[in-house]
Structure 1
Amino acid sequence: MINFAIVGIGHISKKHIEAIQAIPEASLLAICDTNPARLEEFSGICKTYTDLKEMLETLPELDVVNICVPSGAHASLTTLCAQYKKHIIVEKPMALKLEDCEKMIQSAKENGVKLAVVHPNRFRPAIVMLQKQIEEGKFGTLSHANATVRWNRNQAYYDQAPWRGTKEFDGGVLMNQAIHDIDLMLWLMGPVESVQAMATTRLRKIEAEDVAAAVLQFKNGALGIIEAATTIYPKNLEESLAIFGEKASVKISGRTANYIETWDIEGQTDEDRIKVVKEVELDPFGKPGHQWIIEDMVDAIKNNHEPVVSGNDGLAPVKLILAILESAETGKKILL
């Protein structure tokens, strides 16, 4: 049995709890939050703590800490857990600064622990099918990719907590919402060579950006376009990822990118296409991505392998987003 603890009780922590409880080889040992009131509902489920250091010192049997606090605090908590020889699963984005990401990776390496970053969209059934086609070379030479996030996060969303929308602890639409699709784009298309971008805070009363657009050139020569906004009226409109190559065009879309809108691949018949589309429609969400991540951590510990979404995987989209923001601020093309 692999014992888990969760740090930070909020919306996303519930997904971690549900995932741990669904895995036979995982056990929820403890929950930590600085607000005692948030811990009351868990008093009968597991041990509760208001101090992370106390939890780490009093639970030698603890194996993994899942970090679900505001993004700006990820680095300090990760390095502390690593010093106590605990494996770590950290929510996206892994940090808001490049040096913090690097510090987290280095700390995990120095202390011999595993570091996984939560990018659950990689495990959506449609995305899994798309990745397989690219990996098998069905696209031929990649031409370009497009990631679109047209969502609504109204002012009430940002007013829920004083850290929301801040550059120090939260970030804007790129770090918070579009990072999922940016991760997918990098995973499927490869590393980026350069970026030119614009970003602005157009409608929301926040410090970070609520609208951004970027043009990328990948190291393989392909191009990419990112459009992201939390200003869409009156509700979420679209999340989509499209990949184009000399032999294939695929677009995964919907209000969340779970459904196949276009699936045209050389050599595949109409019957093949219809079969793939219907298979996804029957189960568009699949097993929860958080469960995939946590199950993989259990296996990584038992069989001593790198997590499927490692610290280096988590660093890549943060690095690109920071380059996008630098380009938007300076008006210059940024080389990565």
Structure 2
Amino acid sequence: MPYRFAIIGCGQIGQRHAIHAANYGQLVAVCDIVNEKAAAIAYKYGAQMYSDPDQLLKDGNFDIAVICTPNGLHASQSIAALSAGYHVLCEKPMALLPEDGRQMLLAAEKNGKRLFVVKQNRFNSPVLLVKDLLDRNALGRIHSFQLNAFWNRDATYFKSAPWRGTLSLDGGPLFTQFSHFIDLLYWFLGDLSSVLYASGRNVQHEGLIDFEDEGMAVLAFRNDVRGTLQYNLNANGSNMEGSLTLFGERGTVKIGGSYLNKIEHFAVDGMVMPELTPSGAANDYGAYQGSMGNHHLVYEALVRTLDDPAQYFMDPKESLKTVEIITNIYHVMRSVEGIRK
């Protein structure tokens, strides 16, 4: 019997999830406080429509709750769904505070349910290549990195939904736009040791957002791996670059493109650049583009893992690490100097 999905949050990412939920199982229910959004998806897929998440959880005619609401609601709604006896697939970020993320893990353990967090960029073929190189120590000791994330999020984007740009529901660019990039730093390099420096400022979105639109940080990871992060929402016209370069004793590689979807530099001792499966398209939301559209691979991994727990789907503890790294960066940035105008 196919798994039954219910989507909570029927905005743009919820619409994307609806496609895959219907393809990899049955989409039986959708919920949004804006009735028109829920009704559109419900009509398309023959799902039951709700405007109250509590009522959806109470009715209980599904197996997996898919959380696609604003960032600041992810933790509380995931905990409610896990506590009501459902598996949860939560969009990134899993939470805006590490303690909230830990409570999500506890709720899953206490209720014997699985918590999955969307990290679709881990399925990018260039990302998988570099992960394999690291696992085989082909690059030797990694000593430094450079992470660039230069995207476009203009006034129209932030005005399109009231939660966008708010500290309580959005959280900032490192949570909303660039958490996938931070996740890969952890996946590649392990635990963060310290934030050596962090600075951010709002230069083009005054009066629109509660946080920075550009920032930078110097980070130290385990084994004394150090590097810099630079990010920006002010790339003119469209997204420009999403890249991660690793410098090792026996190799240097750069994953580039706009969405970590290309190998732009490959110099590894004794190796020729392998041929990769072409990357798919980024998630296209009309007025702007997001990260890579690999959500179908997330659903494939989810179904495999539920069918056979021995199969691997990213441990949610790894997603918590992303939240902890971002929180540490923002702690230094916001408490030491604030967001400069």
TM-score normalised according to structure 2 size: 0.90
More deviation, 63-72/95-104:
95-104
Q: What amino acid does structure 2 have at the position aligned with 1:102? A: R
Query: What is the Cα deviation at residue 306 of structure 1?
Result: 7.6
Partner of 2:115: 115
Unaligned runs of 5+ in 1: none
State the TM-score, normalized to the length of structure 1: 0.91
Post-superposition CA distance 1:228-247 (Å, at most 9, x none) = 11012232211111111111
| Alpha carbons of structure 1 residues 246 and 284: separation in structure 2 relative to 1, 3 Å | farther
Q: Contact 2:147 / 2:245 at 8 angstroms: preserved in 1?
A: yes
Percent sequence identity over aligned pairs: 30
Please say if residues 125 and 284 of structure 1, whose CA atoms lie closer than 8 Å, have aligned partners that are also in contact. no
Aligned match of 1:142: 142
Q: Trace 1:1-336 onto structure 2 (pairs within 5 A).
A: 1-23=2-24, 26-41=25-40, 42-43=42-43, 45=45, 46-60=47-61, 62-195=62-195, 196-204=197-205, 205-268=208-271, 272-273=272-273, 275-276=274-275, 279-280=276-277, 282-284=278-280, 288-305=293-310, 308-331=313-336
Is the contact made by 2:240 and 2:258 (CA closer than 8 Å) also made in structure 1?
yes
Letter in 1 for 2:26: S
1:39 Cα deviation from its structure 2 partner: 2.2
Is the partner of 1:293 in helix, strand or coil? Answer: helix
Q: Provide the C-alpha distance between the structure 2 equivalents of 1:152 and 1:44, rounded to a whole number of angstroms.
A: 31
**Local SS of the residue matching 2:177:** helix
More off after superposition, 185-194 vs 299-308? 299-308
In 1, the alpha carbon distance for the partners of 2:36 and 2:20 equals 23
Alpha carbons 2:254, 2:265 under 8 Å: kept: yes
Cα distance in 1 between the residues matched to 2:60 and 2:110: 21
When the two chains are superposed, the root-mean-square deviation of aligned CA atoms in Å is 1.8
Name the CA distance, whole Å, in 2 between partners of 1:31 and 1:305.
Answer: 30
Deviations 1:50-81 (A, max 9, x none): 12222222234x11111000010111111110
Q: CA deviation at 1:284?
A: 5.0
Distance in 1 of aligned mates of 2:160 and 2:293: 26
Q: Is the 8 A contact 2:71 2:176 kept in 1?
A: no
3-state DSSP class of the match of 1:331?
helix
Contact in 2 for aligned 1:124/1:285 (Cα 8 Å): no
1:259–1:284 CA contact under 8 A, matched in 2: no
1:114/1:307 contact within 8 Å kept:
no
- What amino acid is aligned across from residue 142 of structure 2 in structure 1? L
